[in-house]
Amino acid sequence: MSKMPIINFDEHFADFMSAWMQEHQGDYATYDAMEADLPRVYMMFLNTRAKWLGSLTPGSYFTQFEDPKVLVDWMHEYCRQGVPVPDLLTDQITFVGKPCEKRLLELLKDPEAEEEAQMLAIGLLREMESLLPKMLYINWQLDRAEKDEMKDNALESLREMGPAVVQPILQVVNQANAHGQEALLEVLSNYPGNEQTFQLAMKLFREHPERRALFAGYLAKLGDDRALPELELAAQEENISYLTFIELRNAIEVLGGNCPEREFEEDPEYDALAGMEMT
């Protein structure tokens, strides 16, 4: 594509707003009243012809363009140059919609792409309710660290894609590392009734005692009372924390079991929660 201009719309709006406030400050009794009027000032900005846009209005500028490659590459170039990506540009990408999905997916697959641009692409595809990146997002989870903002963002999209992700996840979840299995189980736990999902939840519950509170919650969501014996045994273990016990007890009760009460007066978590309840 021909080189598209990288214009800092935020700076231009700040200039517009500053000029407006200086001219109209006497119209406001308080600063809060002036701040409350900002949405109206922004709408004026969008609809005012600007010399810096060749007399076009900011609100109409990006609507001239509908080529997915132009729009997505333009967004990427903003990120490369460290200039804030205009909401007006991303709005136009979502307005063009489905034709942009493939180009956004290509951006996600580009190993040299800016992370900011890829994070934006994930959000835009989610806003479009696109299923196109489904397998890419699943494969990203197979080898992941415990904390990964990009893969967490993709996981949020998988959660919102609905039951269409269940079978593709089940086909590969056994290939995932521990953090990947945990991440994918979070999605699968929303769809009870699958034996493989239940067995995966039980496996992770057994193998990661330090994460039992989390996996007990997933077992509760899956609603299979076959988990009760192991949940009840875990709730009776001597060295579990108060917060872990609470999650185990909740899961046991959801699944129809009975959990004996225990004393945790010497647990700092118990003391902290008791102090919060008293304040």
| 90-143 pLDDT per residue, tens | 999 999 999 999 999 999 999 999 999 999 999 999 999 999 999 999 999 999
The pair of structure tokens assigned to 126 is 């989610």
The answer to whether 168 touches 149, Cβ cutoff 8 Å, is no
The answer to whether 255 touches 220, Cβ cutoff 8 Å, is yes
Report pLDDT for 277.
53
Report pLDDT for 232.
95
Report pLDDT for 201.
98
Report pLDDT for 22.
87
Report pLDDT for 278.
44
Neighbours of 105 (CB within 10 A): 17
Note the pLDDT tens digit of each residue in 234-271. Answer: 999 988 888 999 999 999 999 999 988 887 766 666 55
For 32, phi then psi, to 5°, come to -60, -40
Q: What's the CA gap between 36 and 25, in Å, rounded? A: 13
Q: What percent of the chain has pLDDT over 70?
A: 94
Cα separations (Å) of 66 from 63, 94, 97, 138? Answer: 7, 11, 10, 30
pLDDT band at 1 (very low <50, low <70, confident <90, very high): very low
pLDDT band at 274 (very low <50, low <70, confident <90, very high): low
Strands (E), the chain: none
Q: What's the CA gap between 170 and 155, in Å, rounded? A: 15
Structural domain spans, the chain = 1-132, 204-279
Note the pLDDT tens digit of each residue in 22-53. Answer: 888 788 888 788 888 889 999 999 999 999 99
Report pLDDT for 83.
98
Q: What percent of the chain has pLDDT over 90?
A: 81
Give Cβ neighbours of residue 228 (< 8 Å, ≥ 6 apart). Answer: 252, 255, 256, 257
Q: Nearest to residue 120, comparing CAs of 132, 104, 96, 133? A: 104
Note the pLDDT tens digit of each residue in 159-203. Answer: 999 999 999 999 999 999 999 999 999 999 999 999 999 999 999
Residue 77 has pLDDT above 70, yes or no: yes
Report pLDDT for 46.
97
